[in-house]
Amino acid sequence: MDNLDAWILTIGNEIVNGVITDTNRETITRELRTAGITVKGMSSVGDDPALIADALENAMARASITIVSGGLGPTEDDKTAASAASFLGVDLKLDKEQLARIEDRFRQWQRPMAPSNTKQAMLPAGSTPIPNDHGTAPGFMIEKNGRVALFFPGVPRELIRMLREQGLPRIAERFGVSRDVFRTRTLIVYGFSESKLGEILADVAQDEDSYHLAFLPRFPIIRLRLDARGTTQELADHILGTKLNVIRERLEQNIISEDGSSIEEVVLGLMKARNLKLSLAESITGGMIGDMITRVPGSSSVFMGSVVSYSNEMKSALLNVSGETLSTYGAVSHQCAREMAEGARVVGKADIGVSVTGIAGPSGGTPEKPVGTFYVGLATEQTTLSRGFLMPGIRDWVRTLAAMQGLDILRRYLLGFRLHGTEE
């Protein structure tokens, strides 16, 4: 779709009041950009008819396409459809076909339909319905002064499917299909600050007519989203591939994945491919690594379990960390990290044991071992190793980085990469 731009409008008191995080903006932006539509801006308003109508007027004045989400439910505070009708100067009209679809949905669910759900079939007169195959609230499309606005439910799983399956095809039909082919790739990068990554990729980050690179930080990783367009699939793939090769060469082993997979998904995939089992011993992270791993479906085929050994007594009793090690070197040390990793491997009857121990703060630090000091241990039947890190910051920040470093040490070990951190 050539030279099309869009505005995103999200509606809901819970959004503007900060009760929920508005993830729909990101979802819509990603889908539009993949289709070659530039997002010029975005806004949010509460469930106030006057504010909604005003926001809609402003959005449609600024972009060819406005994507609206939220406020299509059956309750009194869902006022989006009525506000759109007021903006157009028309009445709401019952769409019997959409009402029948809503009634069918409730029959499929074997649940009674409340009278208030009929409200969801009340659409602005003259609008084009957008059926909802994944929920109850239909969307709709309106047009004014040659510009269009498409309305979708605020439920993310319904929104994304309706946008992909019906919204984008309707936009293509209305404005004409572009001859261009679009390609996109998302890389997960760890180990660089956003500013440092910007320096390394300064030339690769320059916008071109056929290419865009976006830096999307989400602590503690940074996502790199590459978008390329060409008149043929081969050209788009060539542009994307050329930029990817430069990024691979410069970032090398700091690229966690090239398909958007998380570090825990990558690690589990590597271990599953080698038929290896993993056990953990966590102190500073308090079970955070185990939580990350068990969020991945199928993790039970690899993950044996985690010992959260916060106290020295637990480290000795459950992981067989020697009293001499604790008295001589302390719980936050290379020696303790190695013994914890070995203990986790043995107790869990695993092929690899990984440990983390450190000082998260805000208290507990010393001049020799300040807050933010932590150690990662790794043990196999053949070798035991450890790496030390100093990454000061607030408590949650330190714990998150310790968990990430634990997984990254394991990833690097499995791939034969250089291990970060200080050695004993």
Count of domains forming the chain? 3
- For residues 152 and 189, membership in a common domain is answered with no
Share of the chain above pLDDT 70, in %: 98
Q: What pLDDT does 210 receive?
A: 87
Q: What pLDDT does 368 receive?
A: 93
- Count, residues in the chain: 424
Token pair belonging to 101? 């679809």
- For residues 252 and 366, membership in a common domain is answered with no
- For residues 21 and 165, membership in a common domain is answered with yes
Q: Does residue 363 fall inside a structural domain?
A: yes
Average pLDDT, the chain: 94
Is residue 220 within 8 Å of 401, Cβ to Cβ?
A: yes
Q: Does residue 423 fall inside a structural domain?
A: no
pLDDT at 213 over 60: yes
Q: Tell me what the mean pLDDT of segment 364-382 comes to.
A: 96
Q: What pLDDT does 233 receive?
A: 86
- For residues 169 and 205, membership in a common domain is answered with no
Q: What pLDDT does 95 receive?
A: 94
Question: pLDDT per residue over 280-309, tens digit each?
Answer: 999 999 999 999 999 999 999 999 999 999
Q: Does residue 421 fall inside a structural domain?
A: no
- For residues 367 and 339, membership in a common domain is answered with yes
Token pair belonging to 64? 């060819």
What CATH number should be reported for the domain holding residue 338?
A: 3.90.950.20
Geometric angle at alpha carbon 357, from 324 and 289, rounded to 5°: 140
Antiparallel, parallel or unpaired: β 122-124 and 92-94? antiparallel
Query: pTM here?
Result: 0.74
Last residue in a domain, options 175, 208, 239: 175
pLDDT at 407 over 60: yes
Q: Does residue 113 fall inside a structural domain?
A: yes
Last residue in a domain, options 125, 145, 175: 175
Q: Does residue 332 fall inside a structural domain?
A: yes
Q: Tell me what the mean pLDDT of segment 334-360 comes to.
A: 98
What CATH number should be reported for the domain holding residue 233?
A: 3.30.70.2860
- Which residue shows structure tokens 């009525």? 82
Q: Does residue 282 fall inside a structural domain?
A: yes
Spatial CB neighbours of 100, under 8 Å, sequence gap ≥ 6: none
- For residues 11 and 147, membership in a common domain is answered with yes
Distances (CA, A) of 99 to 105, 117, 118, 136, 137: 10, 9, 6, 9, 10
Q: Computed from CA positions of residues 172, 177, 183, 189, in that sequence, does the dihedral angle turn out positive or negative?
A: negative
Distances (CA, A) of 262 to 222, 233, 266, 279: 11, 28, 6, 19
Token pair belonging to 81? 């459809």
What CATH number should be reported for the domain holding residue 112?
A: 3.40.980.10
- For residues 241 and 379, membership in a common domain is answered with no
DSSP string, 84-136: HHHHHT--EEE-HHHHHHHHHHHHHHT-PPPGGGGGGGEEETTPEEE--SSSS
Q: Tell me what the mean pLDDT of segment 27-55 comes to.
A: 91
pLDDT at 178 over 70: no
- For residues 160 and 269, membership in a common domain is answered with no
pLDDT at 110 over 60: yes
pLDDT at 347 over 60: yes
Q: Does residue 33 fall inside a structural domain?
A: yes
- For residues 249 and 276, membership in a common domain is answered with no
Last residue in a domain, options 149, 175, 201: 175
pLDDT at 198 over 80: yes
**Which of 131, 132, 172 is closest to 148 using CA atoms?**
172
pLDDT at 44 over 70: yes
Could you tell me the residue range of the domain that residue 197 belongs to? 181-257
- For residues 290 and 371, membership in a common domain is answered with yes
